[in-house]
A and B are shown apart, each in its own frame.
Chain A
């Protein structure tokens, strides 16, 4: 009988398991990717990409699309464990609840990042924008905001996993809470696209949000996932 694994290595095991499962089954990956492309096309009818002010709002549009894809991915995070009572098995395993939660959040993060990066060239081509003005800024924003979406989303995926209406409940509960990081991401992306300077406050908001909500989610994972 080996000792219980440490938090981070256990979390990584869970993340690897989820990633492998997703890459083999492609349950949410394909759906999220096609949704992003469909939405990008649909939005191009509502908002003219050739318009002069398109640089002002296209960043916001990108984040709307990404957050929709995020809801699709985090929805499956705990729901996929319902089949064959896998969630019960995970709870009974020596993996601590916080590691289970973190692992699932990391897996969602990597999947969503993959979808976002794959859809990014389509966005740049369809809307005629370039993010090469400040690539490092954009990638940092992408990572910070995606983590904000996945850490809150995975938490609420766990909270709503036993509900019949979970697909409906999750976005209703999560989107209002995600408004501060999404606003920050939209503002920064607009700055990257237009080349205007971005106030530092938006980065601080994103980092603060990530730290506070990660700590809160890890602390409460025990409560949500046990008994």
Chain B
């Protein structure tokens, strides 16, 4: 049953993404000032939001583990961090491509770029910490603590960077600006692609979570076998 659900989810995500790509490339017109390159934005911003949601959920799952001490939450926290990082990479890479065309440089030490990179580094550290701890109970406990610190730190990095002057384009979504800066058709497309990426993230999370649970099962069986021999 779970298998079929996963296949169904995968198919839905794939079809949705293909539909979105079709609209992005063949239906929507070029942007007035930037031309064709603005299209990376349909992956840039949704990728960022997806990664941010993953970071937030990793913090929540970790707190849930510390409260309940149920393995499920530890596996979920590990899985969602791994899922979030590729979306963070999508955000950074599309941003760099856009920067090369519009600013003429691949990278600039702009606060928003820097804070996105630092966040990715912090979560890469979280995954490294997980790998370095052999004992499962200690791994779950210590990485949960790390995830809570990591999320607090990400908020801090983000806010502290807002105080810098930034050359990154300001917010365009109508919930932040009150409307008027973005064409409604383009804003809808952003929402569509965010939904598609979230669907994809959900699918990856389900797969990764199952792997994580099985890994734990194998580990505990191995320990049991060793204790008999």
Interface of A with B (CB < 8 Å)?
152, 155-156, 159-160, 162-165, 169, 172-173, 176-177, 179-180, 183-184, 201, 205, 208-209, 212-213, 216, 220, 223-224, 227
- Contacting pair B125 A172 (CB below 8 A): yes
Q: Output the nearest chain B residue to A212 by Cβ-Cβ distance.
A: B152
- Contacting pair B125 A224 (CB below 8 A): no
Known: A163-B132, A172-B125. A177 touches B149 (CB 8 A): yes
Nearest first, the 3 closest Cβ-Cβ pairs linking A and B are A177-B153, A180-B160, A176-B121
* Chain B: interface residue total (CB-CB under 8 A): 24
- Contacting pair A159 B156 (CB below 8 A): no
- Contacting pair B133 A224 (CB below 8 A): no
The complex places the Cα of A176 from the Cα of B66 at a distance, in Å, of 24
Contact of B132 among A152, A156, A169 (CB under 8 A): A169
The complex places the Cα of A162 from the Cα of B163 at a distance, in Å, of 39
The complex places the Cα of A155 from the Cα of B121 at a distance, in Å, of 19
The complex places the Cα of A165 from the Cα of B160 at a distance, in Å, of 31
* B94 contacts A by Cβ under 8 Å: no
- Contacting pair A224 B142 (CB below 8 A): yes
Known: A176-B121, A176-B122. A216 touches B148 (CB 8 A): yes
A177, A184, A216: residue with the most chain B Cβ atoms closer than 10 Å = A177
Known: A159-B146, A201-B163, A223-B145. A173 touches B129 (CB 8 A): yes
**Given A177-B149, A213-B152, 18 extra CB contacts under 8 A:** A152-B149, A155-B149, A156-B146, A159-B142, A159-B146, A163-B132, A163-B133, A169-B128, A169-B132, A173-B125, A176-B121, A176-B153, A177-B150, A180-B153, A212-B156, A223-B141, A224-B145, A227-B141
CB of B21 to closest CB in A, whole Å: 34
* B157 contacts A by Cβ under 8 Å: yes
B146 proximity list for chain A (CB < 8 A)? 156, 159, 173
26 contacts between A and B (CB under 8 A): A155-B145, A159-B129, A159-B142, A160-B142, A162-B133, A162-B135, A169-B128, A173-B129, A176-B118, A177-B122, A177-B149, A177-B153, A180-B153, A180-B157, A180-B160, A201-B163, A205-B163, A208-B156, A209-B156, A212-B156, A213-B149, A216-B148, A216-B152, A220-B145, A223-B66, A224-B141
B30 proximity list for chain A (CB < 8 A)? none
A216 proximity list for chain B (CB < 8 A)? 148-149, 152
- Contacting pair B132 A165 (CB below 8 A): yes
A159 proximity list for chain B (CB < 8 A)? 129, 142, 145-146
CB of A199 to closest CB in B, whole Å: 8
CB of B200 to closest CB in A, whole Å: 27
The complex places the Cα of A205 from the Cα of B156 at a distance, in Å, of 9
B122 proximity list for chain A (CB < 8 A)? 176-177
The complex places the Cα of A160 from the Cα of B128 at a distance, in Å, of 11
B125 proximity list for chain A (CB < 8 A)? 172-173, 176
- Contacting pair A162 B138 (CB below 8 A): yes
Q: Output the nearest chain A residue to B153 by Cβ-Cβ distance.
A: A177
A184 proximity list for chain B (CB < 8 A)? 160
- Contacting pair B160 A183 (CB below 8 A): yes
Q: Bits for B133-170, please: 1 = Cβ < 8 Å to A, else 0.
A: 10100100110011011101100110010010000000
CB of A177 to closest CB in B, whole Å: 4
A156 proximity list for chain B (CB < 8 A)? 146
A176 proximity list for chain B (CB < 8 A)? 118, 121-122, 125, 153
The complex places the Cα of A160 from the Cα of B134 at a distance, in Å, of 12
B153 proximity list for chain A (CB < 8 A)? 176-177, 180
CB of A145 to closest CB in B, whole Å: 14
Q: Output the nearest chain A residue to B137 by Cβ-Cβ distance.
A: A227
CB of B204 to closest CB in A, whole Å: 24
Q: Output the nearest chain B residue to A187 by Cβ-Cβ distance.
A: B164
CB of B145 to closest CB in A, whole Å: 5
A160, A176, A212, A213: residue with the most chain B Cβ atoms closer than 10 Å = A176
The complex places the Cα of A156 from the Cα of B138 at a distance, in Å, of 14
